[in-house]
Structure 1
Amino acid sequence: MKKVLLIDDEAAGRQLLREYLAEYPDFVILDEANNGVDAVRLCNTYHPDLVFLDVKMPGLTGFEVLTHLAELPRVIFSTAYDQYAMEAFEVHAVDYLLKPYTRERFSRAMRKLNFERDENTAAPLAESLLAGSGTYPERILVSKGRKLVPLTTACIIWIAADGDYCRLHTADDVYHSSYGISSIEEKLDPATFLRVHRSSIVNISKIREAHRYGKSYDLVMLNGQTVRVSRGYMDRLRDLTF
């Protein structure tokens, strides 16, 4: 049996999915949500195998929902907006159902699911974002303009808090995360990423040099930017000093 969640802000959209899914007895609908915030809560509670996900919803968009999930299920987008199809496939969605869609179109989407192919491995979306042998992800979803793109964590030079969100600096660009800096710190490998300020995390391998500043240091990163180490975090830097 495969666990399914229906996420759509329109009751008619959820009803249509229930009707079409009735022909698939191996897929059990566990719950529904009509907004992005509840979608995150349900996904992290039930750990579904498949989520039918709308794009534009109150609270969080469908793409933003994905950035808040502890585990990434297979996703079929179901939406009235055609302009987000490219973004959907960039995050390795199984399919993109454009409302109004027929029963046959729904069936084609379902045929793309192949759980038996890799029952013991992660879904395609999870493979893209959580690849790696360790506990910490080697790739994450981050915002770039109006879309989400996968980013290899090794490319991150440093991270700056931006209110309740964060900016992730790489050699070529700046990306945005909807996570706060403390949440990001928990998700990144502490052997690589060091919190040096309440507003800053640095990739240790991307430090070019350190300059003493009073009783603290300024870290010059490989992209030329300078990150200040606050006194409260100096012990962490000293632990790396020989």
Structure 2
Amino acid sequence: MRIIIVDDEMLARAVVREYLSEHADVEIVAECANGFEAVKAITELSPDLVILDIQMPKLDGFEVAELAGAKTRYIFATAFDQYAIKAFEFHALDYLLKPFSQQRFDQALAHARANVGKGAPDAAVDSMVREAAARNKPLGRVLIRDGAKVHVIGSDKIDYVEAQDDYVQIRAEGKSYLKNQRLTELEGQLDGEQFLRIHRSYLVNIARVERIEQATKDSHVAILKDGGRLPVSRSGYQKIRAVLG
């Protein structure tokens, strides 16, 4: 079984490495000290299992799982509150509450060994990401993987979001980014007081709207501060008019 260890604390990685040394069928293919390294390693190496810290700077464990995709399985490790752990108990293969013993670690590894390769974990990872988003609402930033790059965009920097089938195109600071997520899901994660659905295909940052203009007898457009124009549906017009006064 090919494993990646991810933890920002060197001592914590050393403990996992020591525990894994008791298992002859295990190969440690990488150790990562932060989330960005982890996303790159998981994407490139496609391990069977990732032992993943939750609380890390820059990207936490759940953000790593979101960005790395659903081609691997996870054991989460954390020194923090058990309530949060419970929310994910049935979605990860296992979780470890630090400090954990060799015996507890071996139990988690045995569980993982028995389950790795049994069907695609997509649904489990999707559930983890959704619950992570719910736990952290509203999102203060949006994560986008672009090949080997990871873009971290502050929510307040977003001008608008446009639906494109199963993707969304996020416009921020003059650039466009494509993210594999449905508009309705992202809408539920962003701050409802900051972002407004003005059309079935558009979610706009209210702070970026300069004015609303009538386009035809029965339609309106939102004029953004950078000159951009977005269509406004009838229901969207009622909502944004109430907000803008």
Is 2:136 aligned against 1:143?
no
Instruction: For 1:140-179, list aligned pairs within 5 A.
Output: 141=130, 143-146=133-136, 162-163=155-156
Greater helix content: 2
What is the CA RMSD across the aligned residues, in angstroms?
4.0
Answer whether contact 2:20 2:26 (CA < 8 A) is retained: yes
Aligned to 1:85: 85
User: Measured at CA, do residues 189 and 86 of structure 1 come closer, stay the same or move farther in structure 2, by a change above 3 Å?
Assistant: closer
Q: Distance in 1 between matches of 2:126 and 2:59?
A: 22
Match of 1:119 among 110, 117, 120: 117
Answer whether contact 1:50 1:73 (CA < 8 A) is retained: yes
Answer whether contact 2:219 2:234 (CA < 8 A) is retained: no
Unaligned runs of 5+ in 2: 139-153, 162-168, 184-195, 202-215, 222-228
Answer whether contact 1:47 1:71 (CA < 8 A) is retained: no
Aligned to 2:208: none
Answer whether contact 1:164 1:180 (CA < 8 A) is retained: no
Aligned to 2:213: none
Match of 1:128 among 121, 124, 131: 124
Number of residues of Structure 1 aligned to a counterpart in Structure 2: 179
User: Measured at CA, do residues 11 and 162 of structure 1 come closer, stay the same or move farther in structure 2, by a change above 3 Å?
Assistant: closer
User: Measured at CA, do residues 4 and 216 of structure 1 come closer, stay the same or move farther in structure 2, by a change above 3 Å?
Assistant: closer
Secondary structure of the residue aligned to 2:89 is helix
Q: Distance in 2 between matches of 1:143 and 1:189?
A: 14
Which residue identity does 2:48 align to in structure 1? D
Report the CA distance between 1:9 and its aligned residue.
1.1
Taking structure 1 as the reference length, the TM-score comes to 0.58
Secondary structure of the residue aligned to 1:127 is helix
Answer whether contact 1:20 1:106 (CA < 8 A) is retained: yes
Q: Distance in 2 between matches of 1:57 and 1:118?
A: 25
Report the CA distance between 1:101 and its aligned residue.
1.1
User: Measured at CA, do residues 147 and 225 of structure 1 come closer, stay the same or move farther in structure 2, by a change above 3 Å?
Assistant: closer
Unaligned runs of 5+ in 1: 132-138, 149-160, 169-178, 191-198, 205-209, 228-242
User: Measured at CA, do residues 114 and 18 of structure 1 come closer, stay the same or move farther in structure 2, by a change above 3 Å?
Assistant: closer
Aligned to 2:220: 213
Which residue identity does 1:111 align to in structure 2? A
Aligned to 1:235: none
